[in-house]
Chain A
Amino acid sequence: AQRVTQPEKLLSVFKGAPVELKCNYSYSGSPELFWYVQYSRQRLQLLLRHISRESIKGFTADLNKGETSFHLKKPFAQEEDSAMYYCALYGGSQGNLIFGKGTKLSVKP
C-alpha cells in the first residue's frame, strides 16, 4: 500500500542549527514526492518537489530510492522556518496526493 511516514511530530532546533525533517515512503512504482509547508495562519503551499531539484528558502530534499526516503534539509535554520511541514507522495489507487501526518518545526532564537 502507498504510504508516507513522517516519524517526528515535533522537531525543535535552535536558530542557526541544521535541520532535517524525515520522510519515508512506500510505493511500488517511481514516486513523485513533494514537501508542502503551512506557516502559522497561512494556507498550505508547495515548498519543493523532487523532480525540480530546486533549493527553496535554503531547503533541499533528495530522493533516495534505496532507503525510500525524501528527507528535507536546511543547513542553518531560521526562526521564520517555524511551520508545519508535510511530505506528500503522488500515487495512490486514485493517483492523488497522499500526505504524511506532518512535522511541526519550531526554531528557537
Chain B
Amino acid sequence: KAGVTQTPRYLIKTRGQQVTLSCSPISGHRSVSWYQQTPGQGLQFLFEYFSETQRNKGNFPGRFSGRQFSNSRSEMNVSTLELGDSALYLCASSLASAYQETQYFGPGTRLLVL
C-alpha cells in the first residue's frame, strides 16, 4: 500500500505571497490532519478533515485554511505569508479518527519564507 504523499517537498516563497500544499492519504483513509513543525514549538496541530468537512481546528490564524476533496486528498493554503510561517508542514492520515487509531505521516513539505 502506498504511503502518505505530500507535494511539493520543498518550497521557497517571499513574505506576502500565498502557498498551497497538497496531501494524498493512504488509500481508504478518510481522516487527514495537518501539522506545523518548528524547532521552537515542536509539532502543532493545524486542522483535521474528515469526509470533506473540517472536524477540528487548532489555534492558528485564519490565514491558514484547508479543504478535502471527495477522494480524501487534502490541500492546505496559507495566505499573506510571514517569516514565522517557515516550517515543516506534515500531513497525516488515519482510517476515521485521528486519536483513536494510528496516524501515518507523510514526508512533509519544507516551506521557507524569505
Q: Do A and B bind each other?
A: no
Q: Which B residues lie at the A interface, using CB under 8 A? A: none
Q: Which A residues lie at the B interface, using CB under 8 A? A: none
